């Protein structure tokens, strides 16, 4: 597989949801793989069933190899809720750990190995910004019933906000059902924070002529009045990993490898989605490769670690990263360093909890309501 490239972050927003950023102690910074593997396994033996480790599909090999469950964010949160473990260690990013805290029992503690693992896209729709924008859009359309819908890749406070305004949460797999719910309940939909998933969902519902992209702070962009005139208002957020894929990557691949198939995530740009053979969530991407015939070739349009995992897990299938040499990893996911995992586990052995994720009770109740509405659609 090609060397990975870490995506640069181009945003003025805060990347870190929490202020309690505990630095990795010096004694853990230079551990080699053999030593930390031995220490992780020793800590897990000591902790036994008291701990469960969740590894997101986008995590590096050294994390998923120690994970009890591997999957996408919501799937992993459900696994945590079904586990009897006192401690849930989430190998993912902040919003994922928050979702786990929302749906797990009160006597379960969720730990994020590094608090620096904050998703930039989730940070593109912070609560204060959304509150201000909501006031503008509702003032511009005082008679409209606007239903806010947030992608799972958002912070708990945004999920709570959507619930409070009659909205809900969605995943990349059920976004179209969430939109249908929104139009059953109201006149318009405000979709946050991923404009590409929103646009692709609008196309799926044949509503592509009813969308507007809105950045309330762009003086050259749509005004609140112009945004309010549309049926679907897309917040101007994106995943910088998936936005980097271009239609030209698929065109070049097909020229070089006409036998190759392409599967991409719906967080990709519209033209990339249209050019792909299969479009779907990380679960769909995994199932596509798992069900492929031996000798098939599949190019993967998502985070490079998942492409690497699939290549390793399914040697009978040729798995290629769609970007080729320009493939990249998610910088936020990269913050879950295996040395951090060693540290938080050994601290638990000593009876100390590090980097606990705890959603405020009122926020948790509303966010749970947004999730419950999703489960009903």
**Does 170 belong to an annotated binding site?**
no
**Does 152 belong to an annotated binding site?**
yes
State the virtual CA torsion across 286, 288, 293, 299 in degrees, nearest 10: -80
**Does 139 belong to an annotated binding site?**
no
**Does 267 belong to an annotated binding site?**
yes
- Taking CA atoms, 124 is separated from 14, 302, 314, in Å, by 8, 20, 36
Query: E strands of 92-176, at which residues?
Result: 109-111, 146-151, 168-170
**Does 56 belong to an annotated binding site?**
yes
**Does 153 belong to an annotated binding site?**
yes
**Does 94 belong to an annotated binding site?**
no
**Does 265 belong to an annotated binding site?**
yes
**Does 172 belong to an annotated binding site?**
yes
Query: Is the sign of the CA dihedral 221, 227, 231, 235 positive or negative?
Result: positive
**Does 25 belong to an annotated binding site?**
no
- On whether the CB atoms of residues 282 and 306 are closer than 8 A, the answer is yes
DSSP, collapsed to helix, strand or coil, labels residue 89 as: strand
What is the C-alpha to C-alpha distance for residues 198 and 78, in angstroms, rounded to an integer? Answer: 25
What is the C-alpha to C-alpha distance for residues 162 and 300, in angstroms, rounded to an integer? Answer: 32
**Does 14 belong to an annotated binding site?**
no
**Does 323 belong to an annotated binding site?**
no
- CB under 8 Å to 63, separation ≥6 — which residues? 55, 91, 336, 338, 341
Residue-wise over 19-32: b if at least 16 C-beta within 10 A, else e?
eeeeebeeebeebe
Which residues are annotated binding-site positions for [4Fe-4S] cluster? Answer: 119, 239, 330
Which residues are annotated binding-site positions for iminosuccinate? Answer: 56, 73, 151-153, 172, 265-267, 282
Which residues are annotated binding-site positions? Answer: 56, 73, 119, 151-153, 172, 239, 265-267, 282, 330
């Amino acid at each position: 597989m090609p060397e990975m490239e870490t995506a640069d972050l181009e945003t003025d927003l805060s990347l870190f949801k929490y202020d309690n950023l505990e630095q990795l102690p010096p004694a853990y910074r230079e551990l080699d793989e053999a030593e930390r593997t031995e220490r992780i396994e020793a800590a897990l033996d000591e902790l036994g069933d008291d701990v469960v480790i969740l590894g997101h599909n986008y995590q590096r090999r050294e994390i998923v190899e120690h994970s009890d469950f591997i999957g996408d964010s919501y799937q992993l949160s459900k696994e945590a809720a079904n586990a009897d473990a006192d401690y849930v260690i989430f190998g993912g990013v902040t919003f994922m750990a928050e979702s786990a805290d929302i749906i797990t029992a009160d006597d379960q503690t969720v730990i994020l190995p590094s608090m620096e693992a904050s998703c930039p896209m989730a940070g593109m729709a912070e609560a204060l910004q959304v509150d201000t924008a909501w006031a503008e859009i509702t003032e511009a359309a005082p008679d409209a019933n606007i239903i806010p819908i947030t992608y799972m890749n958002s912070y708990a406070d945004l999920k709570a906000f959507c619930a409070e305004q009659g909205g809900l949460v969605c995943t990349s797999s059920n976004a179209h059902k969430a939109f249908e719910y929104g139009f059953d309940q109201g006149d318009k939909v405000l979709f946050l924070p991923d404009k590409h998933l929103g646009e692709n969902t609008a196309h799926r519902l044949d509503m592509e002529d009813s969308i507007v992209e809105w950045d309330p702070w762009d003086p050259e962009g749509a005004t609140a009045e112009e945004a309010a005139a549309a049926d679907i208002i897309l917040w101007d957020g994106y995943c910088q990993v998936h936005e980097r894929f271009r239609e030209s990557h698929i065109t070049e691949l097909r020229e070089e490898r006409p036998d190759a198939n392409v599967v991409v995530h719906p967080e990709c740009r519209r033209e990339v989605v249209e050019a792909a053979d299969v479009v779907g969530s990380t679960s769909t991407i995994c199932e596509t490769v798992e069900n492929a015939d031996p000798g098939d070739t599949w190019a993967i349009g998502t985070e490079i670690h998942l492409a690497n995992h699939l290549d390793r897990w399914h040697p009978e299938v040729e798995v290629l990263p769609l970007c080729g040499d320009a493939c990249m990893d998610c910088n936020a996911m990269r913050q879950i360093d295996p040395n951090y995992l060693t540290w938080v586990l050994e601290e638990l052995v000593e009876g100390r909890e590090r980097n606990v994720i705890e959603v405020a009770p009122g926020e948790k109740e509303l966010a749970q309501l947004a999730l419950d509405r999703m489960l009903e659609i």
